[in-house]
Amino acid sequence: MVDLSLHPMKEVRVIVSGEQRSFVTELLDRIEVSGYTVIAVTAGKGHGGVQSSHFMFGGIESLEMVMTVVPEEKVEPILSGLRTLFSHQSGVMFVSDVSVSRREYFGKS
Amino acid sequence: MVDLSLHPMKEVRVIVSGEQRSFVTELLDRIEVSGYTVIAVTAGKGHGGVQSSHFMFGGIESLEMVMTVVPEEKVEPILSGLRTLFSHQSGVMFVSDVSVSRREYFGKS
Amino acid sequence: MVDLSLHPMKEVRVIVSGEQRSFVTELLDRIEVSGYTVIAVTAGKGHGGVQSSHFMFGGIESLEMVMTVVPEEKVEPILSGLRTLFSHQSGVMFVSDVSVSRREYFGKS
């Protein structure tokens, strides 16, 4: 029987240049998230920090959004793991509440 | 006059292989959601369940995210409708809170 | 030192035809949001309003989602700014809660 009830989790989205995707996904693998989804970004502006209003991500086609859904206690390790990347690369991370079906796909707490 | 106030709704996102898109959208049509949006997924990993760490969605280019925004009472019918699909196919569903402008576009409760 | 703590913000997503993207992004620039991300939509249905069940966005390839993350007080100006567009064009706006790392990228309140 398939469990289709909904369970509260955290959705984490990270926007980085395509060249940095593997840094992010390898981090997610190390933290043992159960999966992730990568979506291409058509255009982006201003996630470059203080120089935001004048900064365009290197190549527009190389910008990507990596999404994952994790139990809350994995948010901080992801944040910490991105510290190295974000200290010298553009990028930003969003965290939001989400409910998922099939909790077994996303790892137990 | 256009009503631009915000109304609380539920956002449902379903990630499935491209071949399963029509199953999902036909389900949404039957439930009479007022619309949906399909976004291509560049890469995905691990939404295949217990074999998650070794499973890649069939073709990377065939993975899609179907998004819809519905009144809360339509979440359960969507979940139930996906039961058949999810019992033999990979896929996952996220539900989150969202507010929308133009409630008339999303169906009254 | 990089601040990686999380700060509550509002995520705004606007789905419009590609031809209307610049209307949206110029509005966001005027409101001085700190950035935005544009994602291509593969297919969409029903965001055309009362004729929703029969309406497909003009060209499937021309549908786009513009995402931005802003302090709460910028939601209303965005909503108001879209009034002109939405009075004669299809489109819809979603608002949701999100937390971000690097608040400095998104403008202080």
As for the ipTM of the complex, it is: 0.77
Burial (Cβ within 10 Å: 0-12, 13-18, ≥19) of residue C18 = middle
**Is C40 touching B (CB cutoff 8 A)?**
yes
Question: In terms of pLDDT, which residue wins out, B5 or A85?
Answer: A85
Neighbours of chain B (3+ CB pairs under 8 A): A, C
Residues of A in contact with C96 (CB under 8 A): 96
- Chain A interface disruption, residue of B41, B75, B94, most A CBs within 10 A: B94
Structure tokens at B103: 């409630």
**Is B99 touching A (CB cutoff 8 A)?**
no
Q: What is the pLDDT of residues B56-88, one digit of tens each?
A: 444 444 789 999 999 999 999 999 898 888 877
Question: In terms of pLDDT, which residue wins out, B24 or B51?
Answer: B24
Residue whose tokens read 């984490």: A12
Q: What is the mean pLDDT of chain B?
A: 78
Distances (CA, A) of C105 to A51, C70, C108: 9, 10, 9
**pTM across the whole model:** 0.82
pLDDT in 10s for each residue of chain C, 109 residues:
445 677 889 999 999 888 899 999 999 999 999 889 999 888 888 754 333 333 444 444 478 999 999 999 999 999 989 888 887 777 788 999 998 876 544 443 3
Domain boundaries, chain C: 7-105
Say which CATH topology domain B9-99 has: Alpha-Beta Plaits (3.30.70)
Distances (CA, A) of B55 to A9, A34, A76, B63, C24: 22, 11, 26, 13, 39
- The pLDDT value given to residue C3: 56
CATH among 3.30.70.120, 3.90.650.10, 1.10.645.10, 3.40.710.10 for C7-105: 3.30.70.120
Nearest to C44 among B35, B64, B101 (CB): B35
CA nearest to B40 within chain A: A39
pLDDT above 60 (res A63):
yes
- The rounded distance, in Å, linking the Cα atoms of B37 and C51 is 16
Nearest to B86 among A36, A69, A102 (CB): A102
Instruction: Using DSSP, state whether B82 is helix, strand or coil.
Output: helix
Q: What is the pLDDT of residues C53-74, one digit of tens each?
A: 334 444 444 789 999 999 999 9
Mean pLDDT to the nearest integer, A38-55: 62
- The pLDDT value given to residue A102: 62
- The pLDDT value given to residue B4: 60
Lowest-pLDDT choice from A7-11, A103-107, B105-109 = B105-109
Count how many pairs of residues, chain A against chain B, have C-beta atoms within 8 Å.
Answer: 79
Q: If you classify domain A8-102 with CATH, what class do you get?
A: alpha beta
From the list A31, A41, A39, A40, the residue with the least C-alpha distance to A10 is A31
